[in-house]
Structure 1
């Protein structure tokens, strides 16, 4: 099993400066690499309360400060983007990261961002499919002649820079719709199930459908690759401690849902622990739950929430450390997965910035993870 930390860079405090939230994201990415996670992902949203409108910029900054961890998008909303511009951004990031980029694509959701980009419910899936078909060709072919519905045609077009990974692995994010599942199976691409909002059954059904369509399109069933999300995470030495610490966090989430008129699927933390993908408990409880989900999904990768949410920094770090020391080794042993690609360029040693004003004199933000960086 491979493990990712993922953030949508949500910010509930409208008064908080964006740069402080971005600093948290970068610090969490560095923590993920330090603790041995396999990947770090940044979502894409174009509406409040999210600061994740530009994943390639955020991930490029993280790429400059890390050397090993895979860099995921979660997801790249191709239904909203010009695929040529998206290719240019992500090919650039692929080069800057030494070939560590992993894309998860999807149509995205949210009425505000659809309105911002003039996308409708009637055309969003067609836009997603068409954009991916062109993006895929641009990544693989030095010159592309193409015509579609939603952007001007191309005639022997060259898009630069050429990517480092050839080809890149593209996962398809799936929440509730069969369209993304079928698109993934058609092209022989892996599937990443959201697995956040509902009980296990609808997600398991979509994954079974993915495997059916995979075989329908003539692919080897043994080559199908699945990842899955989780709805929250907090590990503690005992289940009692985990529940006691996480309860106010979960209750705050439920209160927020109800304020915006959304009735929660799991109204109590106990219900969520029992029926949802949330991972709250002792190490053995979390191991058992991941095994239970794996029996339905057959997944080889899963994500945890990267953000501390309402946990203190100390609680957040301790929980992730406990995951890596007491949970991940058992899951890696019991549920082996195919390896992620290794960086195509050599990793770089990490050096400490000169001790002048904690980096401020060098034009760097003071304190935190910004005081250490890879050598140029």
Structure 2
């Protein structure tokens, strides 16, 4: 069971003081978070790409490279790279550089992106939303294999026996498919034999078990070795010394962040009752004491089949010392409980 942290590098106003940190400050904080996550033995740190005022990381691989220079073991991933509005050659080149700096620890999590600002910014038509992703993923997978590339598509200039440099340190950098939980994206990942990352941020995680089973069945039918494929989840959460402490610290920024996006997307108001339901035993919010969070992650492995869990923290803006304490508790308290129980359960 791999355990890690994900962030979107949020820079919303502090819900208590109203102050907004700069993008530069949040990026420097992320570098320190990556360093700490490595020190406490977490497996992966992932950064999401956005192109708007309330997020600081428009190019995740740059802040990941800064973290790579200060770490030794932790794997470094995007979460996600908005492949539809980027050039696959440049994506591969940038992550190959990250792979070299990190000594072979880079990963790409490719997705369409639930935010669409990058399409207008880089001159893409939203009517081509699905076609862009399919075509660019096809090219990225050819680049992953290496060698001379010959390729032709409708949304990018063709490549005729061209090779791309620099070369990554890994023979093939991992490429994950990010999914919001639709059957189509799950089936695509299974057919291609690519690891799948599910955003589980609402409802009950148990509801994703049929999707995981669909993914495995599709992969098996396509001739892939299912047992070797990665299956990850990404969920909001925060760890404190006690359940009450974690909830009281995490709720204000969570409410602010959810209501900010909710207002843009027509969601209902996010209340403390919404929050408490989500952090209950069957909810998708992993907020509580180390024991509570560990129990929920173990349940996710046993009943859904998740092999990698990414704790998205913080949601919105929190004091950085609180975020760092949560990461430390995750590595030093939660991870040993999860790993010991999973090893015991699978060793029966």
- TM bucket, shorter chain: 0.7 to 0.9
Tell me if the contact between 2:29 and 2:320 (Cα under 8 Å) persists in the aligned partners.
Answer: no
Larger radius of gyration: 1
Of residues 243, 266, 284, the one that matches 2:247 is 243
User: Is it true that 1:138 corresponds to 2:169 in the alignment?
Assistant: no
Q: Which residue of 2 aligns with 1:333?
A: 340
Q: Which residue of 2 aligns with 1:347?
A: none
Distance (whole Å) between structure 2 residues aligned to residue 250 and residue 159 of structure 1: 42
Three-state SS of the structure 2 residue aligned to 1:316 is: helix
In structure 2, the CA distance between the partners of 1:131 and 1:336, relative to structure 1 (3 Å rule), is farther
Q: Which residue of 2 aligns with 1:159?
A: 164
- Aligned runs of 1:195-210 on 2, under 5 Å? 195-210=200-215
1:177 offset after TM fit, Å? 2.4
Comparing 178-187 with 50-59, greater Cα deviation is found at 178-187
Tell me if the contact between 2:47 and 2:79 (Cα under 8 Å) persists in the aligned partners.
Answer: yes
Tell me if the contact between 1:251 and 1:268 (Cα under 8 Å) persists in the aligned partners.
Answer: no
Distance (whole Å) between structure 2 residues aligned to residue 315 and residue 290 of structure 1: 21
Distance (whole Å) between structure 1 residues aligned to residue 193 and residue 166 of structure 2: 25
Distance (whole Å) between structure 2 residues aligned to residue 102 and residue 109 of structure 1: 20
Distance (whole Å) between structure 2 residues aligned to residue 302 and residue 206 of structure 1: 16
Per-residue CA deviation, residues 343-374 of structure 1 (Å, 9 max, x unaligned), is xxxxxxxxxxxxxxxxxxxxxxxxxxxxxxxx
Of residues 271, 275, 284, the one that matches 1:277 is 284
Three-state SS of the structure 2 residue aligned to 1:263 is: coil
Distance (whole Å) between structure 1 residues aligned to residue 141 and residue 36 of structure 2: 32
- Aligned runs of 1:75-154 on 2, under 5 Å? 75-154=80-159
Three-state SS of the structure 1 residue aligned to 2:85 is: coil
In structure 2, the CA distance between the partners of 1:119 and 1:207, relative to structure 1 (3 Å rule), is farther
1:71 offset after TM fit, Å? 0.7
Distance (whole Å) between structure 2 residues aligned to residue 36 and residue 181 of structure 1: 30
1:258 offset after TM fit, Å? 5.5
Structure 2 length as normaliser, TM-score? 0.88
- Aligned runs of 1:21-32 on 2, under 5 Å? 21-32=26-37
In structure 2, the CA distance between the partners of 1:329 and 1:132, relative to structure 1 (3 Å rule), is same
- Aligned runs of 1:194-273 on 2, under 5 Å? 194-236=199-241, 238-257=242-261, 259-260=263-264, 261-263=266-268, 267-273=273-279
1:121 offset after TM fit, Å? 4.4
Q: Which residue of 1 aligns with 2:56?
A: 51
Distance (whole Å) between structure 2 residues aligned to residue 199 and residue 269 of structure 1: 13
In structure 2, the CA distance between the partners of 1:239 and 1:93, relative to structure 1 (3 Å rule), is closer
1:201 offset after TM fit, Å? 4.9
1:306 offset after TM fit, Å? 4.2
Distance (whole Å) between structure 2 residues aligned to residue 257 and residue 55 of structure 1: 21
In structure 2, the CA distance between the partners of 1:249 and 1:9, relative to structure 1 (3 Å rule), is closer
Of residues 295, 298, 301, the one that matches 1:291 is 298
Comparing 107-116 with 34-43, greater Cα deviation is found at 107-116
Matched positions, count: 336
Per-residue CA deviation, residues 257-310 of structure 1 (Å, 9 max, x unaligned), is 565442157753221112432112223222221222223321111111244855
In structure 2, the CA distance between the partners of 1:197 and 1:114, relative to structure 1 (3 Å rule), is farther
Q: Which residue of 2 aligns with 1:316?
A: 323
Distance (whole Å) between structure 2 residues aligned to residue 95 and residue 323 of structure 1: 28
User: Is it true that 1:64 corresponds to 2:69 in the alignment?
Assistant: yes
Of residues 34, 37, 47, the one that matches 2:39 is 34
